[in-house]
Chains A and B, each alone.
Chain A
């Protein structure tokens, strides 16, 4: 090997990764700084807790989405699965009690996710199409199940999950960090996590290394579905009702968070903390622009532009 080449490789290796991996964090700090200067109500403890609670919904979905995208897939059905799980959970809860209701909601989410995975691996349908179909099926299923009306009259004890506090901290925030830590451990410290990265990075090489790649993909989609179900339950608790239109468009926020976080849509590359930062950026943009009284119409434009800028910067660091 030529000495010059080796030297260059080593340099590339250090420098580009720093830009790529930490650029998004710098972006988050920059965003917080800008909003803090523009609005004095922004950087206060109470507002930060509000931001985090808002963020948690996207964060749950984005963490699940990370597993899917790291495995070189995509899940467009999370918003609809969320709604269906919330509706079924709320429905079961009315007669069966809180515990059974939550369990039912989670089971529906995980089940639909597993179904996605099976369709993709066994019927060999691209993830984009399979989950697009599920997006329609689950949304339609929700409307059928609820007859298009919110399910209300949920037990009061159910309110804790979405509206409760532990100390001063809203419960969804705590749950978000618990889920994040668990997901982080799974991705970094378990065999399955390695398999997700390897399958996403090169499915043929992964298979040729003895990995049962179908199982890896099915599991990733099951995790995404499960977390969608969890989000549906929390959202139902927070709103004290299951809305048939809940979670519409959330899939795009979740994908945006993952991509903002530096994960490659081709799979195999990306870090979970980036996803969390990406979710926070989405949340802070919402909150900050609200505080500055930017109309919700313009907010969408701004969000889109921020995604473009962030991904452009990330790519320039890659080369």
Chain B
């Protein structure tokens, strides 16, 4: 049994309102590349953070090389030789490679503890050389590196810490195919050196290419752990998705038979983001836009809303060609955007519910002639509150004190007041609890019934199938399929969402 590098035994973890992990047990063999897969929210990242002590488990035991490990703080991960490489890097962009690698534990010499730059650069170079790849200059500033190179810096850092176990959280999400290939070479070399790799990925193909074992998580539970040789692609997908939809979607509103096309997107492209995207949206239609993280969905949404300038292509609203270069113009044409990051783009969280609700409609309605019509403002806000059953203590309450679901409803409400014809919802249910999700679905249906055309973007495929009239799947910036949710499954979407560039 001593060939196990890492062992999770009955790990449980809950967050307020969510059981993130339920008694998960996984054994990871030394020098294996072990893939962890699952849908968004399955608990992959939570488990990995627990492994390095960034999150504290509620129950369970972690064994490292056969011995029980006391991993209770972020520092403990290092002590046991486990490093986690995040999706977002923890590098300081203005420092160079070597400085980043030795950040916080700079090597020194002499009585006065001056930094020993020579030694640090030499050691960095040594590790980089041993990886035989990426001619990376230890003196290069991190901000000038590509994403793949930054990943290598993180790996080098982990190795310089003598990590025997390296966890990579979706390392290939932002990489090109070529970069991915080189990263895999590095992983193979690490494996040859006896380093154990935990590899989280959305891309099924990659698992077959690089991993020895695969563990599948779903809704916080371990479904299975198997050798990659004993499983096929379809089995992985089936087990990832499961059949255990925990809530029922409200019945779909009927699409009007003779609805007018309100938005037509013609061959829009933006370098490095998306290519040749075309689609039509009809009045009262809920158009699902599905894809994995990094597929370019949000970028398309931002472009239609005037926050991301197009390189090529045209937009038509009600048949009229339009140029939307700012949200101001988007609102004029009746386009509204529920952004993916509502705290960054959707809300002014230090201001009140009322001010947030009416912010975009002041110019168009409530305060046409400089002064705010306070009575009208309050009555409109009251209407929206009823329509969306928004819950808060008072209109003057700051938005930051609301729950995620209610914050999201404030964003919906503020756009309803602009009387949009087209509403783009980018991951509208992310980070909100199940009850609030259901409310959002009901609102989406109600708005569609009122004739608003809705573009519903999500990386949760069950939700897309449950809500949309029609689904477009994107992968790597291209539309790869148009599906009818009535006779499609999550597996179908996943298949097209993971399709590599065909060109």
Q: Which residue numbers of A lie inside 8 Å of B, CB to CB?
A: 1-2, 5-6, 9-10, 12-13, 189-192, 194-195, 197-198, 201-202, 204-212, 264, 268-269
A13 / chain B contacts, CB cutoff of 8 Å: 393, 397-398, 401
Question: Are B327 and A205 closer than 8 Å at their CB atoms?
Answer: no
What is the count of residue pairs linking A and B with beta-carbon distances less than 8 angstroms? 98
A31 to B400, CA, bound (A): 34
Q: Which of A2, A191, A206 contacts B348 (CB 8 A)?
A: A206
Question: Are A210 and B372 closer than 8 Å at their CB atoms?
Answer: no
B350 interfacial contact with A, CB 8 Å: yes
B433 / chain A contacts, CB cutoff of 8 Å: 1
Question: Are B370 and A191 closer than 8 Å at their CB atoms?
Answer: yes
Q: Taking CB as reference atom, which chain A residue is nearest B398?
A: A13
A13 to B400, CA, bound (A): 10
Q: Which of B327, B349, B370, B401 contacts A209 (CB 8 A)?
A: B327
Apart from A194-B359, A198-B359, 5 more pairs, CB < 8 Å: A6-B403, A12-B401, A190-B372, A198-B355, A202-B347
| Nearest CB on A from B109, distance (A) | 39
A195 / chain B contacts, CB cutoff of 8 Å: 362
Count, chain B residues at interface, CB 8 A: 42
Question: Are B363 and A191 closer than 8 Å at their CB atoms?
Answer: yes
Q: Taking CB as reference atom, which chain B residue is nearest A268?
A: B350
| Nearest CB on B from A212, distance (A) | 6
B16 interfacial contact with A, CB 8 Å: yes
Q: Knowing A13-B401, A205-B344, A268-B350 are in contact, say whether A211-B393 is a contact too (CB < 8 A).
A: no
A205 to B16, CA, bound (A): 28
| Nearest CB on A from B134, distance (A) | 34
Q: List B residues 243-296 near A (Cβ within 8 Å).
A: none
A5 to B339, CA, bound (A): 26
A6 / chain B contacts, CB cutoff of 8 Å: 403
Query: What are 22 residue pairs bridging A and B, where the CB atoms are less than 8 Å apart in the complex?
Result: A1-B403, A1-B433, A1-B436, A2-B17, A13-B397, A190-B371, A191-B362, A191-B372, A194-B359, A198-B348, A198-B359, A201-B348, A201-B351, A202-B347, A204-B344, A204-B345, A205-B345, A207-B326, A208-B337, A208-B339, A209-B359, A210-B331
A221 to B482, CA, bound (A): 51
| Nearest CB on A from B161, distance (A) | 35
Question: Are A198 and B327 closer than 8 Å at their CB atoms?
Answer: no
Question: Are B328 and A197 closer than 8 Å at their CB atoms?
Answer: no
Question: Are B16 and A190 closer than 8 Å at their CB atoms?
Answer: no
Question: Are B351 and A207 closer than 8 Å at their CB atoms?
Answer: no
| Nearest CB on A from B269, distance (A) | 23
Q: Which residue numbers of B lie inside 8 Å of A, CB to CB?
A: 16-17, 305, 307, 326-328, 330-331, 337, 339, 344-351, 355, 359-360, 362-363, 367, 370-372, 374, 391, 393, 397-398, 401-403, 405-406, 414, 418, 433, 436
B17 / chain A contacts, CB cutoff of 8 Å: 2
A12 to B397, CA, bound (A): 10
Question: Are A201 and B403 closer than 8 Å at their CB atoms?
Answer: no
Q: Knowing A210-B331, A211-B359 are in contact, say whether A190-B367 is a contact too (CB < 8 A).
A: yes
Question: Are B414 and A192 closer than 8 Å at their CB atoms?
Answer: no
Q: Taking CB as reference atom, which chain B residue is nearest A199?
A: B348
Q: Which of A10, A205, A212 contacts B347 (CB 8 A)?
A: A205
Question: Are A210 and B330 closer than 8 Å at their CB atoms?
Answer: yes
A206 to B370, CA, bound (A): 17
Question: Are A207 and B370 closer than 8 Å at their CB atoms?
Answer: no
Q: Taking CB as reference atom, which chain A residue is nearest B415?
A: A209
Question: Are B351 and A268 closer than 8 Å at their CB atoms?
Answer: yes
Residue from B349, B350, B403 with most neighbouring chain A CB atoms (10 Å): B350
A202 / chain B contacts, CB cutoff of 8 Å: 344, 347-350
Question: Are A198 and B351 closer than 8 Å at their CB atoms?
Answer: yes
Q: Knowing A5-B16, A194-B372 are in contact, say whether A205-B367 is a contact too (CB < 8 A).
A: no
Question: Are B327 and A189 closer than 8 Å at their CB atoms?
Answer: no
Question: Are B360 and A209 closer than 8 Å at their CB atoms?
Answer: yes
| Nearest CB on A from B388, distance (A) | 15
| Nearest CB on B from A183, distance (A) | 15
B436 / chain A contacts, CB cutoff of 8 Å: 1
Nearest 8 CB-CB pairings of A with B: A201-B348, A191-B367, A209-B360, A1-B403, A210-B331, A210-B328, A9-B401, A202-B348
Q: Which of B344, B363, B402 contacts A210 (CB 8 A)?
A: B363
Q: Knowing A191-B372, A198-B359 are in contact, say whether A268-B348 is a contact too (CB < 8 A).
A: yes
A44 to B331, CA, bound (A): 57
B360 / chain A contacts, CB cutoff of 8 Å: 209-211
Q: Which of A12, A197, A207 contacts B355 (CB 8 A)?
A: A197
B328 / chain A contacts, CB cutoff of 8 Å: 210-212
A130 to B402, CA, bound (A): 37
Q: Knowing A5-B16, A194-B359, A208-B337 are in contact, say whether A201-B393 is a contact too (CB < 8 A).
A: no
Question: Are B355 and A194 closer than 8 Å at their CB atoms?
Answer: yes
Q: Which of B344, B349, B362, B405 contacts A194 (CB 8 A)?
A: B362
Question: Are B370 and A190 closer than 8 Å at their CB atoms?
Answer: yes
A13 to B414, CA, bound (A): 22
